[in-house]
Structure formats: structure tokens, C-alpha cells
Amino acid sequence: MKKPKQTNCTTLVLAENNNILDRCNKIAKSAYKKIKILHSKWFGCVLGLALAWWIPITHAEQSHEYHYRYISLSKITLPSGFTQFNPVAIDDKRKVYGDIYDSSGVAHIAVYGDGILHVLQPGNVLTVNARGTIGGYLTDPQTGNFQAALFRGDEVEIIPLLPGETKTFVQSLNDSDTALVRSEDPSALNTYRLYKKGETLFSYQLPTGSDCPGCWGVNNKGIVVGTIFDPNLNAFRAIRFLLPYNKPQLLNPLPTDSDTTSFGISKSGDIIGVSHVFLGDSTKNHYGIWDRQGNFKSYFEGINYFALFNNKNLIVLTQNFDTDNNSYLVPRPGVRLNIMDLLDNPADADVQLVAVIDINNHGDMTGYGCDVDFNLCGGFLLHRTLP
């Protein structure tokens, strides 16, 4: 089958919506407030991440390595005049950042830490870095368009629009506050650019209409990774931009595959992604990591999951809303651990761990889920504890 030269993420994934809350509504009919944004941590051009095989793990081994304490975010006290807190990101201090809406429907940024939720200022969260800078966007009340912004406490730095841009948001953010901005121009193809202190350090216009915002990111070294449709190869390719950005590197598939897709990049430059055949047998997708030399190491094969990982290459398989309401840790090739089995207090888990949306470098996680009867949907924090 000929691959499309004009497409969007929905042609690449099994289920794609504007954000992770839309997915929850789709399966649980929850009352989450929908936001109109494509989100880096909450979605991706996902071809699937289920394991077809794994090394059996004994309970003793699970208990020895990974323990978590479940904290419900649906039961925290909300400030007067605000509704549901929607978690988005977690930093290395175990602070959870997310969106909270007032009675008029205006989104505000909120931070949860040490049992207390603080509401900061209007805006939406998309990512956060180690120093606590928040990347996201503001919404123009007149046009409804988004404009990329950086939030630092009660201060906001609005990233100026370039000529022709109508919608922008911060897709990724490194620890030096260098922002990877996705921009839309009605008269041209979408563009990704690096912004820092008023300057554009890098800009790349997509070669076709295919765009997968969740496939793009930047690390602390300024290395940019993403996924494009390459018309010359008639294939999807994960692509890496090393400084000085003049020679992009295509990340090649395994010999048995034709396409590649990226999911994220670590501090060291490792890239998580999938080597696959577009519209082929999804059970043969190979999920793994490209090292700094561009060599791909397969961790597992399978379908229907989205992948996250941290700077220690601890992988999370999550967001399979079709067949599996669990999320899994993959600490090393061939090993899969059901996160629910790793809880020290499973009786306190008021929702299923269907969607982990971020993981920090300590292995703490945040996400959301619904109970088995779909009567309650809410967020959670998984605090990693010492064995």
C-alpha cells in the first residue's frame, strides 16, 4: 500500500485524540474538561507498545527493585471556585503540575506538592523542566488561538509569534529553558523551532503535511528529535538534529522493517522509538532505543501501548484503552512489570492505572484513570519508595 504524503497522526495510530483526557472520555464517559491542544506527554504517533514476550518475573524480584505508594489526586482539596485538577507533568522534586479550571472555564496552572495544591496563573501546562519552569501556552480569549509561553512562578514569558504564525505551543523544554516550539501557519507546513531568550536557535519546516507533535523533543544538549514522512523514501522516519543543526540524521529501521517513529529523547541522547512496517503486522513492531551513534536496540515486540521513559532509560508502557487498563514498567529488555503489582498500598488505588502521563528521573509517576465501573475518573501520583 502506498503511504500517504499528506496525513496526520490519526493515520499512524490506533486511537488519536486532542489530548489524554479525550481518550478517557471516550472509554469512560468521564466529565473531564477537554482542552484543545496536542500534547507531548499525553499522546504520540503511537503504533503500539504491547509486549508479545517478556521474561517471567517473580514477586520477590518485583518487590526487591520497585515499590510505589499510591496517592489519589482526585481526593485532594481544591481551592474554592475551581474544579477537577488534571495532572500533566512531574518534576524530580515530586511536584505534579497540571491544569485546573475556574467556574467560567478558564484554565489555570496548578502545582501539587506535599499534600497541597497551589493555583498559580491562567495558562495550560504541557511540560516542566528540572528547575521548575513550565512550558505551555496561553489562549487568546478573542480568537481561541494558542500562544507558546514559559511560566516561572507567577511570571510568564510569552514567546513572540513569527511572521505568518497563528498558533504556537511549547512542545518540549530542556533544563536551560530552551523551548521547542511547534507553530502553525495556515499558508505553510508546520514548523518546529528552538527558542531561548528571544532568539530562534533552530527551525525546521516539515517536508509534508504529516505531523506528530508527540514525537518531538529536545534534551539538555540541545539535540532535537522528531518524526517526519520522507517523500524520497516513501516512509516515516525518526529524525535527529545534532548541533549545529545543518545535517539531520535519519534513524533507520531494522532490516526487516521500513519505517521508524520516535517517542522521546533522554539527557544522554538516547532516543526511544519503534522500528516497524507502516500498516503492516503490528505484532511485529520492534520497540527500543537508538543510542547516540544511531544504533537501534530492540527491547520488545507488540501492539497497543504508548511509551514514556526517563533519563535512566526506565520505560513505561501505558495508555492501551482498547484491551488493557494496566500500565507497565520495562526496566530492561524483555522484562515487564505490572505497576499495580508494585503498589505498597493497592487498597488505596481508587482508579485503574490506565494512563501514566509522565515519569521523573527517580521513577515517580503521575497519570490518571477510572475505576472499574467508570463512576470515578481522576489523577494519581505514584511515589517510588525504597524497598
321 pLDDT tier (thresholds 50, 70, 90): low
Q: Is the pLDDT of residue 298 over 70?
A: yes
Geometric angle at alpha carbon 112, from 375 and 149, rounded to 5°? 105
Determine the distance from the C-alpha atom of residue 217 to the mean position of all C-alpha atoms in its chain, rounded to a whole number: 10
Q: Is the pLDDT of residue 100 over 70?
A: yes
Mean pLDDT of the chain, nearest integer:
82
Which is higher by pLDDT, 62 or 46? Answer: 62
Q: Is the pLDDT of residue 340 over 90?
A: yes
129 pLDDT tier (thresholds 50, 70, 90): very high
| Cell triple for 175 | 533544563
Residues spanned by the domain of 286: 9-385
2 lies in some domain: no
- The model's pTM is 0.82
Domain containing residue 307: CATH number: 2.130.10.150
CB proximity list for 140: less than 8 A, separation 6 or greater? 146, 147
Q: Is the pLDDT of residue 176 over 70?
A: yes
Mean pLDDT of 96-104: 94
Among residues 161, 45, 169, which one has the least CA distance to residue 107?
169
Determine the distance from the C-alpha atom of residue 356 to the mean position of all C-alpha atoms in its chain, rounded to a whole number: 9
328 lies in some domain: yes
pLDDT cut 90: percent of the chain above it: 59
Lowest mean pLDDT among 134-143, 148-157, 295-304: 295-304
pLDDT cut 70: percent of the chain above it: 82
Mean pLDDT of 303-311: 78
354 lies in some domain: yes
35 lies in some domain: yes
Q: What is the DSSP string of 305-366?
A: -EEEE-TT--EEEE--TTT----EEE-STT--EEGGGGBS-GGG--S---EEEEE-TTS-EE
256 pLDDT tier (thresholds 50, 70, 90): very high
Q: What local confidence, expressed as pLDDT, does residue 331 receive? A: 86
**Residue 49 and residue 119: Cα distance in Å, rounded?**
35
Q: What local confidence, expressed as pLDDT, does residue 323 receive? A: 66
Q: Is the pLDDT of residue 7 over 90?
A: no
322 pLDDT tier (thresholds 50, 70, 90): low
Number of domains in the chain: 1
Mean pLDDT of 77-93: 93
Q: Let me know: does 32 contact 25? Beta carbons within 8 Å.
A: yes
Lowest mean pLDDT among 185-199, 271-285, 338-352: 271-285
Q: What local confidence, expressed as pLDDT, does residue 6 receive? A: 32
156 lies in some domain: yes
4 lies in some domain: no
Q: What local confidence, expressed as pLDDT, does residue 46 receive? A: 34
133 lies in some domain: yes
**Residue 86 and residue 73: Cα distance in Å, rounded?**
9
Q: Is the pLDDT of residue 33 over 90?
A: no
Query: What does the pLDDT look like over 207-243, one tens digit per residue?
Result: 998 898 989 999 999 999 999 999 999 999 999 999 9
Q: What local confidence, expressed as pLDDT, does residue 383 receive? A: 97
375 lies in some domain: yes
Query: What are the strands of the beta sheet with 377-385, ordered from one edge?
Result: 67-72, 377-385, 365-370, 355-359
